[in-house]
Structure 1
Amino acid sequence: MIQLKNLSLRRGLKELLVAANLTINPGNKVGMTGANGAGKSSVFALLKGELHAESGEVLLPPQWTMAHVAQETPALPQSALDFVLDGDAELRRLQQRLAAAEASADGNAIGSLHAELDRIDGYSAAARAGKLLAGLGFPVEHQSRAVSTFSGGWRMRLNLAQALMCRSDLLLLDEPTNHLDLETVLWLEDWLKAYEGTLIVISHDRDFLDSVVTHIVDVSQQKLTLYTGNYSQFEVMRAEKLAQQQGNYEKQQRQVAHLESFITRFKAKASKARQAQSRIKALEKLERIAPAHVDSPFDFHFDTPDNLPNPLLKLERADVGYGDTPILRQLSLSVESGSRIGLLGVNGAGKSTLVKLLAGELQPLAGEVIGAKMLRIGYFTQHQLDTLRSDESPLWHMQKLAPQARELDLRSFLGGFNFRGDTVNALVGPMSGGEKARLALALLVWQKPNLLLLDEPTNHLDLDMRHALMLALQDFGGALIVVSHDRSLLESTTDAFWLVAGGKVQPFDGDLEDYRQWRLQQQADNGKAPGSAASDGVNRKEQKRLEADARNKLAAQRKPLQNKQNKLDKDMATLNSEKAELDAFLLLEEAYQEHNKARLAAALKRQGELSAQLEEMEMAWLELQEAMEALEG
């Protein structure tokens, strides 16, 4: 087992742990959570022997093999496959000894070493390494490429594959999903669930933690607290503790009321569609987890945009790519006011390329991008963190953006992003990735955009900040397009998905589970051996043509129904807004005073009319939905 006894740890002047204790049993899968800077990575450094505690003990079984993901990858000439095989140190030692024995013609040693290789399953090592690479998104033809030819994000995947290749007793993973797309995260979850050793993972992805871990270690208040269960269960237990404090309890109730209001507004659509149901479930989940964030240091929101033109942005037969090479072709899309769209697709399909086109960072190779006159884009990407001035402070950045604003107002605004006191004047350079991401988001929020383009906005953000961002995005009044591997963010803030695949972008009819099943089916189809007869290919082509014809026919039949349903959505939203105002008035005590008699009668009458109209419209919406489902059936 792993034991930390009376551990005290300091980094610089900051005390991270004071007399902390922790016991992790063999085979446990542990998620380590806590605010940025609480000491999670320092605990990892202690376990790896890279740091030494001020006092206390760190006890690890001496015979255990430990694996972790390297943070840097040199530009090596060796192939990706060989690099991953290096993760099995014992395999490499035996291979070197075998080569030496063969060179000296030592028959006894050769026989013994072959037996050792058989014992560790060394003859299937290359196949295992190839399978790891495939799971992490490397096509077979790329596995023989030199490590030096891969970009930084793909090298991080190689480092992860190398760590997984190690036949370890203890596996340490620090934010392993940050450089992965959604389907690779799902693959990693399945791999880790089957892992037989002890796992400790630092992650701010609650769905990933829920899927993988059996315990949570909360790093807070200079202590290490172990909870049994996954992250959702931990949130409930932590919430119960916090709710005992009256001030926190009142804040919790306000947050829950906010979420209940949001869910109620969404449920007014009376939707039976899978995507709508998925989102309602996600929001109900957020309602349950809200209490775990009652002591969050983050409190911000997006102001209502000054203008909401419709449509905000249109693409007309646009091609986009790099140089003269298109990545996406013939894009004809419209971003309507109030759209909330999540982009789906594998890494490299073109999601970020599409976002750059919409943001104006890439110009179309053909076709047009037409923005509304009053379009104001808020664009967030990890690359923007590099544009922050390292020799300046958060307050300087805000003053540069808003020179006319009062310093007191800017300080108050930055406080909502947990830049308080002296931290508003701290230099950006030494800040963590999470702190820089918070500053970049603060600069974006201040500008009151009416179209938000977010490319992996939650990387480096801790769970409290992710939760605060979800709440802010739910109330955002403009349009939203988001790329993220964070399923909670996608489920709770988007209404629709666009699929980026095969050089095209088109609506995806379904939720994230439907997308997962679609990808699994696609992978299964791609993995089937081709038929030996030439007619097999011809039959398959004919089948594809027929399937395409059927899809086109279905789309043509479905479109007028969908248009009617979309109009009903907008009309119901308008009526629901009016009804909410009437409901609020009728809850007031003054509504029933004598001088409001006429207004009360009119309000009650109008409330009844609106209820009848909404009921009629909801029935019409459901009939349209059933008609579309019948078409698909």
Structure 2
Amino acid sequence: MSDTYLLFTTVSFGYEHSLETIINGLTAHCAPGWTGIVGANGSGKSTLLRLAAGELTPSAGTIQSSGSVVYCPQRTDTAPDNFNGFMTVYDKPSMRLKAILEIEEEWLYRWETLSQGERKRAQIAVAIWQEPDVLLLDEPTNHLDADSLRVLYSALEAFNGTGLLVSHDRFLLNTLCYQCAFFEPPRIVMRSGTYAQGKEQQNIEYDSTLKMKHEAESTLQSLNREVTRRRNAADRADSQRSKRHLKASDHDAKAKIDLARVSGKDGAAGRRLRQLQGRVAQAEQTVESIDIKGRRVTGIEIPSEKSKRDTLFTLEPHTIPLGTRRMLRIPEISMAPSDRVAISGKNGCGKSTFIRFVVERLRIAPEKIVYIPQEVDDTAAKRILAEVRSLPNEVLGQLFTIVSRLGSEPKHLLDSDMPSPGEIRKLMLAHGMLHRPQLIIMDEPTNHMDLPSIECLEEALAECACGLLLVSHDEDFLRAVSSTHWQIVPDSTSQNVYSIHRQM
């Protein structure tokens, strides 16, 4: 498939309910290999993939491809198309993918009880199995454990078609991509090289543009100072050529003024002033034309408090079923108000199930809890957006200040019928922060979030006063914000039993 391609020609698109154009005149050529798609939540990355997949129609321009196109969306609510065919065929490609991604035959019958990581592995396996000319992946590393990530890197590296990759995973972007499209609304800039190389070029461009802006502003300030000086000079000249201050008998002085008027010397200062004002207008246009793009002001402080209770929860020994055959054994375990707990384990070991079990047994007021699950379905997302829109203006302003500092555009959220998964998480966190939480529970918090938002969230959680209960496969993130580690591992007594091991 070395001759595969995807071509965008002056493509524009905007949703009917929004006055803004999300994609404006994009022209780009994607050759065999991987093109990274990076940008803030809600900037239009997923929209671009949906356009390429044919789910959306451009308002202008054309999109062409060399052949078949397969799209893997962020969400895994439903089984992918052709899942049944993939699971019931036993050819060499399907058996290889099932082995590599550890996909079990029973998954065909229990999609609803699969973990999000298991669903994501199945979704990607079905996509690669179809051997498309063009493969579109939206956050493929979401929900995957460390072992699955290593397998995914190998599988995507072996793909020899044309791929578009939306991801917040820096390793993936730097390992696979030969070019990256940076979403910098209202433009999209294609830069050659890996994400790191493109980011370096973006920073160079930003610094150069910022320098040009400062130089243009300095020139404008100098010209304005000169305008003031010359205006004062012109006013003095006007005063000097006025006859009102002369005596009626001072004919010599009056004659000199008349001579200056006839020779034109009296208007020289005024003409110089008008010429300079023209230069000022040009300088103002130059300053206005230099648009600084590429960086947003981010950074938040989470207003939180430590609970006065002895414990946030205490669990007695318990066994939780995980599907039909597996189970999770919970020891006697508790969490103190200031504990910062990281939970890790392989896909399907029961991390999200354990979190839901804990949420039902918390001892603190509901409004003092921020709980952000691993996935928020469309119905819940629309309900959250409606609740936010109904807030009083003062409260809504506070919430949107937080959302903006997390790297998203509040106006875009208000215009949207369905915010992106990353934006929904920001809304939920911002809404919870308004109540000074005593406990923040987040299941895979870095999933769906853009890179600047992840770094911002990491810094904020590291400094907050409340308890933290976090599930994540992002080891760097967990190391930065947690002090206690609860690891879910296979029990020594049975391969279908998992248990929680506490590590300090």
Same fold (TM over 0.5): yes
Determine whether 1:381 maps to 2:373. yes
Matched, 1:452 2:440: yes
- Whole-angstrom distance in 2 between the partners of 1:159 and 1:372: 38
Q: 1:461 aligns with which of 449, 461, 481?
A: 449
Mapping of residues 349-368 of structure 1, within 5 Å: 349-359=349-359, 361=360
1:160 to 90, 100, 124: 124
Q: Distance in 1 between matches of 2:447 and 2:204?
A: 28
Q: Give the superposition deviation at 1:496.
A: 4.4
Spell out, residue by residue over 1:460-513, the C-alpha distance to the aligned partner (whole angstroms, 9 max, x if none): 33333333222211222233221123445334323443210232111358xxxx
Q: Determine if contact 1:29/1:200 at 8 Å carries over to the other structure.
A: yes
In the aligned structure 2, how far is the partner of 1:187 from the partner of 1:294?
33
Residue pair 2:180, 2:198 contacting (<8 A) in 1 also: yes
| 1:50 Cα deviation from its structure 2 partner | 4.2
Q: Is the 8 A contact 2:82 2:126 kept in 1?
A: no
Please point out which of 186, 198, 208 is paired with 2:162. Answer: 198
Q: Please tell me whether residue 20 in structure 1 is matched to residue 26 in structure 2.
A: yes
Equivalent-residue separation in structure 2 for 1:39 and 1:391 (angstroms)? 21
The equivalent residue for 1:575 is: none
Query: Are positions 1:175 and 2:175 aligned together?
Result: no
Residue deviations 1:411-459, cap 9 Å, x none?
Answer: 13322213877668x4885433333222211122222223322112233
Deviation of the 1:237 alpha carbon: 2.9
Residues 510-545 of structure 1: CA distance to partner in whole angstroms, max 9, x if unpaired?
A: xxxxxxxxxxxxxxxxxxxxxxxxxxxxxxxxxxxx
Q: Which residue of 2 aligns with 1:506?
A: 501
User: Does residue 128 in structure 1 map to residue 93 in structure 2?
Assistant: yes
Deviation at 1:185, TM superposition (A): 2.7
- Give the secondary structure class of the aligned counterpart of 2:188: strand
Q: 2:191 maps to which residue?
A: 227
The answer for the alignment partner of 2:342 in structure 1 is 342
1:580-599 equivalences in 2 (<5 Å): none
Structure 2 contact 103–122 (Cα < 8 Å) conserved? no
Q: Give aligned pairs, total.
A: 407
Match in the other structure for 2:10: 6
Percent identity between matched residues is 24
Q: Does the alignment pair 1:58 with 2:50?
A: no
Instruction: Provide closer, same or farther for how the CA distance between residues 417 and 74 of structure 1 changes in structure 2, counting only shifts above 3 A.
Output: closer
Greater RCO structure (CA 8 Å; 6+ sep): 2
Q: Distance in 1 between matches of 2:375 and 2:125?
A: 25
- The CA deviation at 1:22 is 1.8
2:174 aligns with 210
Match of 1:415 in 2: 401
- Given that 1:4 and 1:58 are in contact with CA atoms closer than 8 Å, whether structure 2 keeps it comes out as yes
- State the SS of the aligned residue for 1:130: helix
Aligned CA distance change for structure 1 residues 393 and 381 (closer, same or farther; 3 Å): same
Indicate how the Cα distance of structure 1 residues 150 and 498 shifts in structure 2: closer, same or farther if over 3 A, else same: closer
CA distance 1:498–1:215, change in 2 (3 Å): farther
Query: Per-residue CA shift, 1:99-119, capped at 9, x if unaligned?
Result: xxxxxxxxxxxxxxxxxxxxx
Letter in 2 for 1:241: E
Distance in 2 separating the partners of 1:214 and 1:455? 32
Work out whether residues 214 and 229 of structure 1, in 8 Å CA contact, stay in contact via their aligned partners in 2.
yes
In structure 2, the CA distance between the partners of 1:391 and 1:221, relative to structure 1 (3 Å rule), is closer
CA contact (8 A) 2:461 2:481 kept: yes
Is contact 1:10–1:17 with CA below 8 Å preserved after alignment?
A: yes
Match of 1:30 among 18, 35, 38: 35
- Alignment root-mean-square deviation, CA: 4.2
User: 1:485 maps to which residue?
Assistant: 473
> Residue type of the partner of 1:66?
V
CA distance in 2, matches of 1:390, 1:56: 35
TM-score w.r.t. structure 2 length? 0.67
CA–CA distance in structure 2, aligned partners of residues 466 and 355 of structure 1: 21
Conserved in 2, the CA contact under 8 Å of 1:319 and 1:328? Answer: yes
1:42 to 2:50 alignment: no
Q: Is the contact made by 2:143 and 2:473 (CA closer than 8 Å) also made in structure 1?
A: no
Deviates more, 1:220-229 or 1:43-52: 43-52
Do the aligned residues in 2 keep the contact of 1:321 with 1:328 (CA within 8 Å)?
yes
Structure 1, unaligned runs of 5 or more: 87-124, 251-291, 364-368, 400-406, 510-633
Q: CA distance change for structure 1 residues 85 and 65 in 2, over 3 Å: closer, same or farther?
A: farther
8 A Cα contact 1:157 1:179, kept in partner: no
Q: Indicate conservation of the 8 Å contact 2:374/2:442, yes or no.
A: no
More helix by share: 1
Task: Return the offset for 1:163.
Answer: 0.8
CA distance, structure 2, for counterparts of residue 39 and residue 77 of structure 1: 24
CA distance in 2, matches of 1:19, 1:79: 36
Residues 246/156 of structure 1: CA separation in 2 closer, same or farther (3 Å cut): closer
Amino acid in the other structure paired with 2:161: G
- Which AA in structure 2 matches 1:504? S
Q: Secondary structure at the match of 1:176?
A: coil
SS of 1:11's partner is coil
Does the Cα contact within 8 Å between 1:6 and 1:18 map onto a contact in 2? yes
